[in-house]
Amino acid sequence: MTWTPPYSESHLLQRILPATPDVLEPPLYVRPGEGSESYDTYFGVFHAARWRRKTSVGELHVAVEVDGTAEVEVVAVKRMTEKVVETARASSAGTVSIRLVDLSDTNVDSYYVRVRGAHLVRGGWYAANTPLRDVRLNACITTFNRQPYVTANVERLRRLGREVPSLADAFRVTIVDNGRNLELPAGDGVSVRVVPNPNLGGAGGFARGLMHARHDGWTTHVLFMDDDITMEVESVVRAIALFRYATDPRLCVHGAMISEEIPWMQFEAGSHYAWRYTYPLRAVGREDDLRDRITVLADEPESQFEYTAWWFTAFPIAVGKDNPLPVFVRGDDVAFGLMHTGEHTITMKGVAVWHADFALKNGPMTLYYETRNMLLIETLVYDKHRWYHTAYRTLSFGFRNLFSLRYASLEYMLKGLDHYLEGPDFWRNVDHSAMHDEVRTCPEEKAAPLPPDLAALQVPGGIPKPIRLLGFIAAVPLVGGYILPKWMLRRRTTVAPINSRAVGLATRSTKLLHRHPRLDEGYVLERDAARFWTDMRALRSSLMRLRREYPRLKREYREYYPEMVSDESWCRLFGISQSELKSSSTPAK
């Protein structure tokens, strides 16, 4: 099936897709009715207001191919008031093409198509005017032992290249293989290059891909994508169209993350970064129901993002003037957004990927990287950041961990803090792969399948927020229950959500089961008073050292930054020379 423009001057902006058997959530594509199909859906709607504000798109065309006699309606939506603005009839199977409107002459929020009497085979929204610029998008996928995901996504992208010939000269894929073991089947449709790389984490993979793109003489825009996503490749079509017509040449495009477990629920569509708070990452659009018509059809102002995660972030190569920080994982995208892409970034309905639940990934290893890396980022980015901001977060989050029996979490937080306190010499000398092997071997707080007796225990529901708050407040004078006599502690296993600290529940618990709300996975924590007091002393010692050394470290880290992200520094980590990097970056034919 090949997408061809309805008129000679038409340029594809986005496709209208039927709900084929392989899609994860059909209601995000089409709303079936009695004798009709309506495309007022997340992937079907044309967000006219955002295209009008952010691009130079002029006259708008729509083309719909149907499999029989049908009536095709184009519906305009303004402040949730809907009006059929065009109707065309197909007397048999074939394509209906409509010249709709000049986008600059309308104040419509959204358009969508409704088909009566037949089924949509395919469709698309097109611009009549010439794009402002040529776009050559290089998708960089960093992978480490995720062959099934990567192979499936590459096949989807190859199929896209065959279906949309206009993308053939505008899109390529570079896969940086940190595992050095990826084997892809042969295929056509899209040029795919695999670059073997040492295991330097996501940061190292994306740095290698970006550096190749800078030197290949072909790339104008770069797309960073995780290796453990399920792609909707329509996202690539819309991103390229946005870049071609963007009135701001610095425009960046971010794809929303949809939950793989609940495939209609948005996890995040961009994020803010509140560096003064205990939890600085503030997701936009968390838990939005993408089946909801109001969510899909209504216009909303663009959010001013601080950063966007790299499951799908695309940007002009000129905007990403620095390489990512060599932080292995966690925070490389935050730093890049805060320093380069965040303020220029928009989202667009239908630009999205599905990703697994992060609740099963969080743990001591994650906290090691987040503590170390976020402190480094705040040191580099925020002039007003002081040692006491980090001390507040460390105390606040540290006591939450200690009071909820998560001793390993606190210990790995302090390990990350101590490595930051070693200064630039730590980063010059660290073996990132060996360090990752060390921190990921932590045996505690790792979700695993639960035995039947624990799987039968469910998370208590319906506890009002004021009650939970009282439990948290009571934990403070009781020092998390560590000053209570043993006879006041519960002997039975208490249950809490896997992504919750559950401080109130833990205060009188000797055993605490953290379990996933939908999967029979989790882990059990046990109270250990001796470990608690040892960790308290270590926490005090690290914070006193932070107070003494932060002013010097801030100065040293800022002086070190240019060296830290330089091609020379990264090539040393890759084990190649800069000339080898340049010579190996020639585009694949």
Inside any domain, residue 589:
no
Q: Which two tokens stand for residue 377?
A: 């980022």
Residues 454 and 489 in one domain: yes
Residues 118 and 198 in one domain: no
Residue 589: predicted pLDDT = 46
Identify the band that residue 173 occupies on the pLDDT scale cut at 50, 70 and 90: very high
Least confident segment among 48-57, 204-213, 340-349, 514-523: 514-523
Spacing of C-alpha 567 from chain mean position = 26
Residues 165 and 311 in one domain: yes
Residue 258: predicted pLDDT = 96
Residue pair 88/103 in contact (Cβ under 8 Å)? The answer is no
Residue in the block written with tokens 């295209």: 51
Residues 511 and 391 in one domain: yes
Residues 330 and 390 in one domain: no
Inside any domain, residue 323:
yes
Inside any domain, residue 216:
yes
Residue pair 372/328 in contact (Cβ under 8 Å)? The answer is no
Per residue in 326-374, pLDDT (tens digit) is: 999 888 899 999 999 988 999 999 999 999 877 667 789 999 999 999 9
Q: Which two tokens stand for residue 84?
A: 């059929």
Q: Following CA atoms 243, 247, 250, 255 in sequence, which dihedral angle do they give, to the nearest 10 degrees?
A: -50
Looking at residues 368-389, what average pLDDT do you find?
A: 96
| Domain termination site, one of 77, 96, 127 | 127
Residues in a beta bridge with 124: 15, 63
Task: Indicate whether this model's pTM tops 0.75.
Answer: yes
Residue 483: predicted pLDDT = 81
Inside any domain, residue 571:
no
- Residue 225 CA to residue 201 CA, distance in Å, equals 13
Inside any domain, residue 544:
no
What is the chain's length?
589
Rg (alpha carbons) of the chain, rounded to whole number: 26
The answer to whether residue 566 scores a pLDDT higher than 70 is yes
If one counts the domains in the chain, the total is 3
Residues 198 and 313 in one domain: yes
Q: Which two tokens stand for residue 97?
A: 């093409």
Residue 3: predicted pLDDT = 62
Distances, alpha carbon 86 to alpha carbons 37, 404, 446, in Å: 16, 60, 56
Residues 255 and 282 in one domain: yes
Helix (H, G, I), strand (E, B) or coil at 552: helix
- Residue 450 CA to residue 447 CA, distance in Å, equals 9
Residue pair 149/230 in contact (Cβ under 8 Å)? The answer is yes
Residues of the chain by 3-state class (helix, strand, coil), percent to 5: 35, 25, 35
Per residue in 99-156, pLDDT (tens digit) is: 988 999 999 999 999 999 999 999 999 999 999 999 999 999 999 999 999 999 999 9
The answer to whether residue 464 scores a pLDDT higher than 80 is no
The answer to whether residue 92 scores a pLDDT higher than 60 is yes
| Domain termination site, one of 356, 378, 398 | 356
The answer to whether residue 208 scores a pLDDT higher than 90 is yes
> SS3 for 81-97, per residue?
EEEEEEEEEECCCEEEE
Residues 144 and 123 in one domain: no
Q: Which two tokens stand for residue 14?
A: 């986005």
Q: What is the CATH number of the domain that holds 313?
A: 3.90.550.60
- Residue 530 CA to residue 453 CA, distance in Å, equals 29
Residue pair 286/266 in contact (Cβ under 8 Å)? The answer is yes
- Residue 269 CA to residue 281 CA, distance in Å, equals 12
Per residue in 54-87, pLDDT (tens digit) is: 999 999 999 999 999 999 999 999 999 999 999 9
Residue pair 343/321 in contact (Cβ under 8 Å)? The answer is no
Looking at residues 192-213, what average pLDDT do you find?
A: 94
Q: Which domain holds residue 95?
A: 11-127
Residues 345 and 371 in one domain: no
Residue 310: predicted pLDDT = 93
Q: What is the CATH number of the domain that holds 97?
A: 2.60.120
- Residue 29 CA to residue 45 CA, distance in Å, equals 9
The answer to whether residue 465 scores a pLDDT higher than 80 is no
Residues 369 and 350 in one domain: no
Inside any domain, residue 430:
yes
Inside any domain, residue 425:
yes
Inside any domain, residue 558:
no
Q: Which two tokens stand for residue 177?
A: 């293989």
Residues 349 and 413 in one domain: no
Identify the band that residue 187 occupies on the pLDDT scale cut at 50, 70 and 90: confident
| Domain termination site, one of 75, 103, 127 | 127
Residue pair 354/255 in contact (Cβ under 8 Å)? The answer is no
The answer to whether residue 308 scores a pLDDT higher than 60 is yes
Residues 115 and 142 in one domain: no
Residue 580: predicted pLDDT = 84
Average pLDDT, the chain: 91
Q: Classify residue 201 as left (phi > 0), alpha (psi -120 to 50) or beta.
A: left
